[in-house]
């Protein structure tokens, strides 16, 4: 079909009527896409279309029933959208995100599954706990060093380093010392010098060269994804020595890790995903996966696991700052259920069981409202009907999981004043037979990790990181609101919806009596 037939509005679906031949493109340049689409749905209803001039049209679906039906039950009618796969293809051609839903993709997903099994992740919990402890130690130091900024310090970088260290622990059984190098740097910091920018304590702690390469590599992919024209972005990136060097550095790092592992085999220093794989397959990987496919997949997990988790934690800290009563209840509940020690350690059984209902509620409410990655983009592989509307084969369909979870949450019983868009963790709680609060996952239809076969394979690890951190954090610190921590501006960072410039101010809880005390 010609581009003008693909760009013409589809009969039966509402859209913005604009004399501008670029249609909604202008709006998408000025507003984060996920928010632009939300406004569109509020104006035109749960199934509508966005016109992008010569770039075609996007069908928006924000109806919970249709999302479930099409992403899961009718998943065979769709594939992961070509424009998303293209954004990763030029960098990681054989990684899961770039592959269509074919036999190779299935093989890759099966190969990576042991990295997320509960039995394996249980062995990683001591390392994740140690990273949580290191992060809290860093924040205690920063709090003490940030007197000039009234105790407010930047935490974005620390969170990126935290999630990077965790994913490396899982894959390789050791981390890159990202948090460790921040901690060491802080210990040697000249505190008499000023480290305040815009009223916030900020430092630029050195990191290993490989970490910088991985971040630059990731940034390039984010640019390609946001651009709508991945090939053009990669053409330009490939001309720059910094991108080429970042890509080379990232690949070398992974190749070196795989090489080291092959040399040591199972006699390596730690239990890791690579060890599990070696135990399962002679040669360390399934024979139908090529060496480059294996490398791409490992890098895909590093890329997928780093910023997504860090961004959700940024939102979590923001919501807690704005809702002191949630912090107080969380601290109270957790103090009664868990003993915090100087060396934090928590097991997977503790985190996955029903022991901390309010903690689960806060995490699910954060994931629901933050809408970090609330779109599942698909291409229709055949003619389909969505809510009775004919959608032709080849259409780009965006399932707006985030919008639906925010706007269609059921009313909270006995609390008519609580809007669906309000941060209210209690909406996830029900009474158990003894009358105590229990967490109920079915309280709200929310799919922060996407849905169906192309949903996120890393969600189990993400939950463990979020829960472990929130548990230790809430027992240690209280977040205080100040002028500098009030910012409510949202930015798109690597295509994730993120609160911009998160500064935090922490105070230490003195004990179960909930008195606050300076660190
Ligand atoms: C809180 C953190 C995270 C969030 C909110 C998140 C969210 C998502 C979403 C929404 C998708 C797309 C789903 C769809 O299209 O239906 C996705 C895909 C993916 N995620 Fe995550 N994710 C997180 C953490 C992780 C982690 C820790 C890893 C790796 C260890 C990971 C690896 C991936 C990969 C490889 C894909 C592509 C799957 C495919 O195309 O088959 N993610 N994630």
Q: E strand or H helix at 391, and its extent?
A: strand 389-391
ipTM topping 0.85:
yes
Whole-number Å distance, alpha carbon 148 to ligand 1 midpoint, is 39
Q: CA-to-CA distance for 443 and 167, rounded, in angstroms?
A: 30
User: pLDDT 10s digit of each residue in the chain, 519 long?
Assistant: 445 556 788 998 999 987 777 888 888 888 888 889 999 999 999 999 999 888 889 999 999 999 999 999 999 999 999 989 998 998 999 999 999 999 999 999 999 999 999 999 999 999 999 999 999 999 999 999 998 889 999 999 999 999 999 999 999 998 999 999 999 999 999 988 889 988 899 999 999 999 999 999 999 988 888 887 888 999 999 999 999 999 999 999 999 998 888 776 655 545 899 988 888 888 888 999 999 999 999 999 999 988 999 999 999 999 999 999 999 999 999 999 999 988 999 999 999 999 999 999 999 999 999 999 999 999 999 999 999 999 999 999 999 999 999 999 999 988 989 999 999 999 999 999 999 999 999 999 999 999 999 999 999 999 999 999 999 999 999 999 887 776 667 877 778 888 877 789 999 997 444 444 444
For ligand 1, the distance from its centroid to the CA atom of residue 42, given in whole angstroms, is: 27
Spacing, Cα 248 to ligand 1 middle (Å): 24
Distance of CA 518 from the midpoint of ligand 1 (Å): 38
User: Taken in order 364, 365, 368, 372, is the CA torsion positive or negative?
Assistant: negative
What is the pTM for the complete model shown? 0.94
Q: Which residues line ligand 1 (CB under 6 A)?
A: 80, 96-97, 167, 300-301, 304-305, 308-309, 312, 372-373, 376, 448-451, 454-458, 461-462
Q: What dotted CATH number matches 112-373+409-444+448-517?
A: 1.10.630.10
pLDDT value at residue 512: 44
Phi-psi group of 12: left, alpha or beta (phi > 0 → left; psi -120 to 50 → alpha; rest → beta) = left
Question: Cα(67)–Cα(84) distance, rounded to whole angstroms?
Answer: 19
Alpha-carbon distances, residue 262 vs 109, 116, 227, 271, 301 (angstroms): 22, 21, 39, 14, 20
Residue minimizing CA distance to atom 9 of ligand 1: 449
Binding-site residue set for heme: 456
Assigned token pair, 104: 């190779």
Neighbouring CB atoms inside 10 A of 378's CB total 26
pLDDT recorded at residue 267: 56
Pocket test for ligand 1, best of 168, 218, 304, 373 (most atoms within 8 A of CB): 304
Domain boundaries, the chain: 112-373+409-444+448-517
Which ligand 1 atom minimizes the distance to the CA of 378? 15
DSSP 417-432: T--TTS--GGGGEEE-
> Residue with the nearest Cα to atom 40 of ligand 1?
97
Tell me, in angstroms, the distance from the centre of ligand 1 to residue 454's CA: 9
Atom of ligand 1 nearest to the CA of 453: 41
The three-state DSSP-derived secondary structure of 90-148 is: CCCCCCHHHCCCCHHHHHHHHHHHHHHCHHHHHHHHHHHHHHHHHHHHHHHHHHHHCHH
Which atom belonging to ligand 1 lies closest to the Cα atom of 374?
Answer: 10
For residue 72, the 8-state DSSP code is I
The angle formed by the CA atoms of residues 271, 276 and 280, to the nearest 5 degrees, is 155
Distance from the CA of 85 to the center of ligand 1, in angstroms? 13
Residue with CA at minimum distance from ligand 1 atom 21:
456
């Amino acid at each position: 079909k010609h581009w003008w037939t693909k760009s013409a509005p589809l009969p039966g679906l509402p859209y913005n009527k604009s004399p501008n031949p670029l249609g909604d493109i202008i709006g998408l340049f000025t507003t984060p896409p996920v928010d632009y689409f939300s406004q569109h749905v509020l104006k035109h209803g749960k199934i509508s279309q966005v016109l992008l001039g010569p770039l075609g049209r996007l069908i928006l679906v924000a109806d919970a029933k249709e999302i479930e039906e099409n992403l899961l039950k009718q998943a065979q009618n769709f594939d992961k959208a070509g424009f998303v796969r293209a954004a990763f293809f030029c960098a990681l051609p054989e990684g899961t995100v770039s592959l269509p839903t074919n036999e190779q993709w299935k093989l890759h997903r099966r190969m990576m599954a042991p990295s997320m099994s509960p039995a394996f992740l249980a062995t990683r919990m001591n390392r994740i706990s140690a990273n949580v402890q290191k992060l809290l130690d860093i924040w205690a130091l920063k709090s003490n060093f940030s007197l000039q900024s009234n105790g407010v310090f930047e935490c974005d970088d620390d969170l990126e380093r935290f999630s990077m260290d965790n994913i490396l622990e899982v894959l390789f059984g050791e981390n890159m010392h990202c948090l460790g190098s921040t901690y060491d740097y802080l210990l040697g910091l000249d505190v008499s010098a000023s480290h305040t920018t815009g009223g916030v304590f900020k430092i630029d702690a050195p990191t290993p060269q490989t970490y910088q390469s991985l971040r630059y590599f990731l940034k390039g992919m984010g640019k390609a994804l946001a651009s709508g024209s991945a090939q053009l972005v990669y053409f330009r990136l490939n001309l720059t020595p910094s991108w080429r060097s970042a890509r080379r550095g990232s690949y070398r790092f992974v190749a070196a890790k795989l090489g080291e592992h092959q040399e040591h085999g199972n006699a390596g220093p730690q239990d890791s995903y690579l060890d599990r794989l070696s135990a399962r397959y002679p040669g360390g990987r399934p024979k139908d996966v090529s060496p480059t496919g294996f490398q791409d997949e490992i890098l895909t997990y590093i890329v997928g696991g780093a910023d997504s988790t860090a961004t959700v934690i940024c939102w979590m800290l923001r919501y807690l700052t704005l809702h002191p009563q949630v912090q107080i209840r969380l601290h109270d509940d957790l103090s009664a259920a868990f003993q915090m020690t100087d060396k934090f350690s928590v097991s997977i059984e503790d985190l996955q069981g029903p022991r901390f209902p309010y903690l689960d509620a806060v995490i699910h409410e954060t994931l629901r409202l933050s809408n970090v990655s609330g779109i599942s983009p698909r291409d229709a592989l055949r003619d389909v009907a969505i809510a009775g509307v004919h959608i032709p084969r080849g259409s780009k369909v965006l399932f707006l999981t985030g919008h639906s979870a925010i706007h269609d949450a059921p009313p909270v019983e006995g609390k008519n004043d609580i809007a669906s868009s309000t941060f209210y963790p209690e909406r996830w709680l029900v009474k158990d037979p003894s009358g105590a609060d229990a967490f109920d996952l079915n309280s709200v239809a929310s799919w922060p990790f996407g849905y169906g076969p192309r949903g996120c394979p890393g969600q189990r690890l993400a939950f463990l990181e979020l829960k472990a951190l929130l548990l230790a954090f809430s027992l240690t610190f209280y977040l205080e609101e100040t002028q500098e921590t009030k910012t409510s501006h949202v930015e798109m960072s690597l295509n994730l919806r993120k609160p911009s410039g998160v500064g935090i101010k922490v105070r230490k809880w003195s004990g179960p009596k909930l008195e606050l005390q300076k660190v």
